[in-house]
A and B are shown apart, each in its own frame.
Chain A
Amino acid sequence: MTSRPPAGAPAPTGNDSLDVATIRKDFPILQRTVRDGKPLHYIDSGATSQRPRQVLDAEREFLETSNAAVHRGAHQLSEEATEAYEEARRKIADFVGADVGELVFVKNATEGINLVAYAMSNASIAGPEAARFLLGPDDEIVITEMEHHANLVPWQQLALRTGATLKWFGVTDDGRLDLSNLDELVTPKTKIVAFTHQSNVTGVVNPVAPLVAKAQEVGALTVLDACQSVPHQKVDFQALGVDFAVFSGHKMVGPSGIGVLYGRRSLLEAMPPFLTGGSMIEMVQMARSTFAPPPQRFEAGVPMTSQAIGLGAAIDYLSVVGMDRITAHEHALTEAALRGLAEIPGVTIVGPTDMTDRGGAVAFVIDGVHPHDAGQVLDDLGIAVRVGHHCAWPLHRRLGIPASIRASFYLYNDLDDVTALVDGVKETKRFFGVS
């Protein structure tokens, strides 16, 4: 499969800024209006990103020319579909610093984390090679207070199933990870250290190295939630040294219904399956079965195919634009948003107010206006932001707020979006009579 180069191809050498006007032409949805003819300001890419024509075309082209069930059948379409599916896997592996056999396609990042958590439960019925995944009442799982529910609830459930104890790192008042008790929390009892690379609420980018080093020292496995980092910055899983990582296609201009679980090869080889059935077997008899090597062992049933091809096209798109340039672009927009919002009386940023180790998400609250009401007025102005707890309820509780407003930027946003947001917040205050 070849996808034509994005219209927003890199500018000539020496110009590092993105040609956002050209990029925006690739995203048909950004041309529409909302709420009685208002131009759309889509600042909610942390929830889901929009998709360029190149991704939509790649999916359609695959479905119109090569669609078949992959890894089964001897006909030409099946061959082509399998080739396209595995080519997408190779492309994605290159993009995140992994070997091709280290990537498992899942429905979304949430499923990826659940896959690891349930595989660990299943270690109790697997062979001796799975012993390192076994958890019991003497073991501990360590997470953080800033996790998205997807990297929290599966570990609560695993603790309930195995009798293990769940512990967590706290968060500082400005939303940073508090690693001051690293040595007390991560001990030889720790079996898993699961944490987010970048907070989906505050945009905080966590230090991976000290956590990986400590986990390795005590023999614990690390699980990285990379949903908010992989779409926005260059990420190399092997270089980071994490054992597992997950991310979702729909947050990186790719399709929904496709996510990726990364696992170090030696771990995936020893790990028991989560979902079982077709495709994931080696040999099946009436009473028992043996399983295929990874990644097939973790991809039971006919997988999502056009979505994988679409994610491959998304990675082509992001690669041609350039991840470093996307990061720099979001950095500039975030800085402008922080500056603009800070000038409005009664607006408080949730999380750090500086640009050190943070990505393109800005969460805030407005004195006297509930986030849900603010979101409604912003929506009426054509501004799409997220309001609520953003699936990080414990973090909001820790920071003493029931909910927040979150703006999250991507490559297709520009300073007009920032201006619209800042003006929209001022209008929100005026509307509700808050001075």
Chain B
Amino acid sequence: MQMEQLYQEIILDHYKNPHGRGLRDPFDAESFQVNPTCGDEVTLRVKLDGETVSDVSYEGQGCSISQASTSVMTDLVVGRSVGEAFKTLDAFTELMQGKGQIVPDEDVLEDGVAFAGVAKYPARVKCALLGWMAFKDAVVRAEGDSA
């Protein structure tokens, strides 16, 4: 069954026990993203400390892919520099848009490699990217505000 490859244990674990969930203060910027085809949504806040992502907090509802992906992302970006976080974001986006042909780099994506199977299901790629798009948008807003 292909489903075990898609829904890896890491994904189901993050779905059932999400990391960093809940909206927290203080924050520099907030982004609301929605997937209009299925109604999945996420509200995400970013707190920057200079160049460092000091906190990401979020609330959302949606499928296991969208919610677990957001949870995994917080592990990958919090405590890193914005530059590093965006490199990881680019690697994850590339993996998702690779139609299952890209071998992910575990050193960069860590738990994010579990989403490699999602790339074979075009309808689910948007789910996996929802939280990441919210993060990118929130950082751009935060940097715009401080510029």
Give the B-binding residues of A (Cβ under 8 A): 35-36, 370-373, 376-377, 380, 387-389, 393, 396, 402-403, 431-433
Contacts and interface: CB of A to CB of B under 8 A. Distances in A.
Contacts of B62: 370, 372, 402
B124 A376 contact: yes
B63 A393 contact: no
A372 B7 contact: no
Contacts of A432: 7, 12
Contacts of A370: 62-64
A389 B62 CA distance: 12
Interface in B1-50: 1-3, 6-7, 12, 37-40
B82 interface: no
B124 A402 contact: no
Given A36-B2, A380-B2, A431-B7, A373 B38 contact: no
B89 interface: no
B124 to A, nearest CB: 7
Of the candidates B3, B6, B62, B121, the one having the most CB atoms from chain A within 10 angstroms of its own CB is B3
B2 A372 contact: no
Interface of B: 1-3, 6-7, 12, 37-40, 61-65, 121, 124, 127
A396 B41 CA distance: 14
16 contacts: A36-B2, A370-B63, A371-B63, A372-B38, A372-B65, A373-B7, A376-B6, A376-B124, A380-B2, A380-B3, A389-B38, A396-B39, A402-B61, A403-B38, A432-B7, A432-B12
Given A402-B61, A432-B12, A376 B39 contact: no
Contacts of A388: 37-39
Contact of B63 (A372, A380, A431): A372
Contacts of A396: 39
Contacts of A387: 38
A431 B62 CA distance: 18
A234 to B, nearest CB: 33
Nearest to A374: B63
Nearest to A389: B39
B2 A35 contact: yes
Of the candidates A370, A377, A389, the one having the most CB atoms from chain B within 10 angstroms of its own CB is A370
Contact of A376 (B40, B61, B121): B121
Counting from the closest, the 10 A-B pairs by CB-CB distance are A372-B63, A388-B38, A370-B63, A389-B39, A373-B63, A373-B64, A380-B3, A403-B39, A402-B39, A402-B61
B64 A393 contact: no
Given A396-B39, A433-B12, 17 more contacts: A35-B2, A370-B62, A371-B38, A372-B38, A373-B63, A377-B3, A380-B2, A380-B3, A388-B37, A388-B38, A388-B39, A389-B38, A393-B39, A402-B40, A403-B39, A431-B3, A432-B12
Nearest to A388: B38
B134 to A, nearest CB: 17
B88 to A, nearest CB: 25
Given A402-B61, A402-B62, A432-B12, A372 B40 contact: yes
A432 B6 CA distance: 12
Contacts of B40: 372, 402
